[in-house]
């Protein structure tokens, strides 16, 4: 061993190996439900969801702002009281004509506001204006604008300064309070589920998110059964190869997350609800080899619980982007 080698790689390799050895594992099919309950409670605690709930318990307040049209579809703009003194934008996009009777909770990825993803003129977008595609296919689309995206930033944030990251100052200040950005956004998703259920009682509801929205979709599906299915795009991958191996936004690092498990362990907590997981072969920040490894592990857990047919996966030739290959037929079969 080189006595002048002071790099930290071996230290973090050892830390990760210890974390993997300590990760909770189910002991058999008969005990999976108990394991799932315990892991959901552990995940909620690690994220700090209970702290947000203690600040403002109960159902949130939604208030209308305006109604209009975009891309030929009716759109409602609302605001939601997500936490004390924290109002966040919320959108409802309605189909024109062929209403499927189903709803999709669309969860935006990094760097994109809801206004962009529902703007037909906005083309420089890895999300492919999917909400418009969903509305065109007859789905009612509910969209919370996540804290850190769009207008939910600090007042002095300069979007023209390439050295500024819109999530960084919010995430780091949350950490000082023992809170996490992941928990705040998951809380937004849970509020949105409640609102969608209230607006369209009995309508099947599916979550769909990419990148940072994929994190929220995956973790929310892991925490609650109040949905008929979940689409995770551009996110499923080992933490080791993605957020630990490559540069990622600080909001991807909830404190002590590895005490719950690796990404596949968390995604598998959604069992047996239907999952649609897609990743690009040339995604530079969620490497495809470990994406496939993660998906296969999720499929094994589902198969062990007799729900092997409930995981649909698509590995497409593409980059970090939403790909709809097989998505709409899958949506048609959910609920």
The reported pTM is 0.95
Q: Considering the domain boundaries, does residue 6 fall inside one?
A: no
Which pLDDT tens digit goes with each residue over 311-321?
999 999 999 99
pLDDT in tens, 243-260: 999 999 999 999 999 999
How many CB atoms within 10 Å of residue 320? 19
pLDDT at 161: 63
pLDDT bucket at 111, cuts 50 / 70 / 90: confident
CB-count burial class (<10 Å; 0-12, 13-18, 19+) for 242: buried
- pLDDT digit string, tens, across residues 19-52: 999 999 877 656 899 999 999 999 999 999 999 9
Q: What pLDDT, on a 0 to 100 scale, did the predictor assign at position 26?
A: 78
The neighbour count for residue 15, using CB atoms within 10 Å, is 12
Task: Give the model's pLDDT for residue 157.
Answer: 76
**Does residue 152 belong to any structural domain of this protein?**
yes
Range of the structural domain that residue 54 is part of = 46-333
More confident residue, 30 or 203: 203
Per-residue pLDDT at 163: 54
What CA–CA distance (Å, rounded) separates 148 from 167?
Answer: 5
Is residue 24 assigned to a domain?
no
Q: Taking a C-beta distance cutoff of 8 angstroms, is the pair 260, 18 a contact?
A: no
288 inside domain: yes
How far lies 186's CA from each of 35, 145, 162, in Å? 21, 12, 27
Average model confidence (pLDDT) across the chain:
93
Task: Identify whether the C-beta of residue 113 lies closer than 8 Å to the C-beta of residue 151.
Answer: yes
Q: Identify whether 15 is part of a domain.
A: no
Residue 124 pLDDT: 74
pLDDT band at 164 (very low <50, low <70, confident <90, very high): low
Reported as half-sphere exposure (CB side, CA atoms, 13 A), residue 131 has a value of 32
Q: Tell me, what CATH number does 130's domain have?
A: 3.40.50.1820
Contacts (Cβ under 8 Å, ≥6 apart) of 21: none
Q: Running DSSP on this structure, what letter comes out for residue 60?
A: P
User: How many CA atoms does the CB half-sphere of 301 hold within 13 Å?
Assistant: 26
Cα(224)–Cα(230) distance, integer angstroms? 11
Can you give the pLDDT at residue 30?
62
Identify the band that residue 56 occupies on the pLDDT scale cut at 50, 70 and 90: confident
Q: Where does the pLDDT of residue 227 fall: very low under 50, low under 70, confident under 90, or very high at 90 and above?
A: very high
21 occurs within a structural domain = no
SS3 (DSSP) at 73:
strand
Chain segment 74-104, per-residue pLDDT in tens: 999 999 999 999 999 999 999 988 899 999 9
Angle, helices 212-223/32-47, rounded to nearest 10 degrees = 130
Backbone angles phi, psi at 94, to 5 degrees: -100, 145
Classify residue 88: in a domain, yes or no: yes
pLDDT higher than threshold 60 for residue 162: no
**31, part of any domain:** no
Alpha helices (H) in 23-88, listed in sequence order: 32-47, 49-55
Q: How many domains does the chain have?
A: 1
Cα separation, 130 vs 146, in Å, equals 17
């Amino acid at each position: 061993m080189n006595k002048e080698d002071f790099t930290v790689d071996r230290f973090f390799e050892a830390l990760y190996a210890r974390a993997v050895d300590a990760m909770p594992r189910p002991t058999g099919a008969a005990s999976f439900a108990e394991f799932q309950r315990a892991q959901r409670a552990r995940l909620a605690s690690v994220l700090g969801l209970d702290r947000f709930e203690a600040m403002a318990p109960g159902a949130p307040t939604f208030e209308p702002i305006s109604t209009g049209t975009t891309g030929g579809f009716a759109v409602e703009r609302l605001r939601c009281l997500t936490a004390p003194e924290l109002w966040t934008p919320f959108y409802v996009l309605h189909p024109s004509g062929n209403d499927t009777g189903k709803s999709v909770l669309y969860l935006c990825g990094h760097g994109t506001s809801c206004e962009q993803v529902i703007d037909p003129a906005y083309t420089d977008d890895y999300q492919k204006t999917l909400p418009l595609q969903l509305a065109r296919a007859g789905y009612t689309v509910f969209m919370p604008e996540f804290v850190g995206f769009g207008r939910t930033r600090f007042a002095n944030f300069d979007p023209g300064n390439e050295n500024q990251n819109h999530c960084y100052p919010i995430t780091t200040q949350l950490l000082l309070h023992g809170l996490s950005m992941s928990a705040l956004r998951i809380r937004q998703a849970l509020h949105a589920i409640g609102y969608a259920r209230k607006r369209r009682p009995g309508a099947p509801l599916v979550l769909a998110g990419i990148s940072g929205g994929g994190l929220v979709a995956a973790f929310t599906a892991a925490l609650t059964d109040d949905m008929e299915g979940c689409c995770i795009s551009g996110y499923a991958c080992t933490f080791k190869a993605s957020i630990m191996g490559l540069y990622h936004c600080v909001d991807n690092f909830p404190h002590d997350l590895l005490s719950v498990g690796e990404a596949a362990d968390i995604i598998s907590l959604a069992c047996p609800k239907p999952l649609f997981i897609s990743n690009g072969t040339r995604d530079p920040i969620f490497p495809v080899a470990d994406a496939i490894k993660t998906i296969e592990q999720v499929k094994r857990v589902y198969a062990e619980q007799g729900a092997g047919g409930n995981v649909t996966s698509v590995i497409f030739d593409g980059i970090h982007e939403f790909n709809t290959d097989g998505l709409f037929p899958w949506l048609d079969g959910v609920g």
